[in-house]
Amino acid sequence: MTTATSSSHEPAINAHIAALRPKLVAFARLQLRDGAAAEDAVQDTLVIALEKHATFEGRSAFETWVFGILKNKILERLRQQKRYANWHAFDDQSDDDAFDTLLQGSLFQPNGRWQAAARPQAWGEPDQLLENQGFWRVLDACLIALPDNIARVFTLREFMGFSTEEICKEVGVTETNCWVILHRARLRLRNCIEKGWLDSP
């Protein structure tokens, strides 16, 4: 890593950034679902962070700001990698329905009740879960297992905080379709997380 500054605080800042880096990479990886792309986004972010760090007083303000930059870098890459061709899959209603039937069949009985094996279990305290490294590892694996289109809509909604209306414009699907996709993404993720969680030692 090269630094463009010669501030006397430099060692402290370097240590701070080094400590922050794994979190940044993990965050980018969850959304880009690609280790190399995540590293690139973080590199771009750190270059800006090193150039501008002197203007920040508090450590937490600095971290929030760095995460803000990273979100923009991730969004740039999501836009580049979105392989628009894939989005046409959403227009193909028969593909959609076949997939939906498969997913829903494994989760729900024909009468609409949960399948016994898919019935949600208790996960414990949400705040503790969010601080548990194992939870994030399972989440990472489960996001990677999602189909691209579904993962992208989920990321824009839950990590980037886009409204479903904004997602429509961003990826060119109807809002109704967006709600359907998010429902599937959430069902699949919660199911995957639970399986990964219970299977892990």
Partner 1 sequence: MMIMCREATKLMSLSLDRNLTRRERLALRVHTMMCRPCRRCQAQFELLHRLGEQPPTTDDDPNATP
Q: Which residues make up the interface to partner 1 (CB under 8 A)?
A: 18-19, 21-27, 29-30, 63, 67, 104, 107-108, 111-114, 119-123, 126, 129-133, 135-136, 139-140, 157-161, 163-164, 178-179, 182-183, 186-187, 189-190, 193-194
Is the Cβ of residue 11 or residue 84 nearer to partner 1 in the bound state? Answer: 11
Distance CA 157, CA 115 (A): 28
Residue 25 near residue 67 (C-beta atoms within 8 A): no
Is the Cβ of residue 88 or residue 176 nearer to partner 1 in the bound state? Answer: 176
Is the Cβ of residue 88 or residue 131 nearer to partner 1 in the bound state? Answer: 131
**Least distance (Å) from partner 1 to the CB of residue 200?**
15
For the chain, how many residues are written? Answer: 201
- Minimal CA–CA distance to 82: which of 29, 179, 151? 151
Distance CA 124, CA 197 (A): 12
**Least distance (Å) from partner 1 to the CB of residue 138?**
11
**Least distance (Å) from partner 1 to the CB of residue 85?**
26
With b meaning 16 or more CB within 10 Å and e meaning fewer, what string describes 130-159?
eeeeebbebbeebbeebeebbbbbbbbbeb
Is the Cβ of residue 83 or residue 137 nearer to partner 1 in the bound state? Answer: 137
Place of tokens 């061709």: 85
Amino acid identity for residue 176 in this structure: T
Instruction: Mention every residue, 6+ apart, whose C-beta is less than 8 A from residue 26.
Output: 136, 140
**Least distance (Å) from partner 1 to the CB of residue 169?**
15
Distance CA 12, CA 18 (A): 10
**Least distance (Å) from partner 1 to the CB of residue 107?**
8
Is the Cβ of residue 85 or residue 117 nearer to partner 1 in the bound state? Answer: 117
Is the Cβ of residue 85 or residue 125 nearer to partner 1 in the bound state? Answer: 125
**Least distance (Å) from partner 1 to the CB of residue 50?**
16
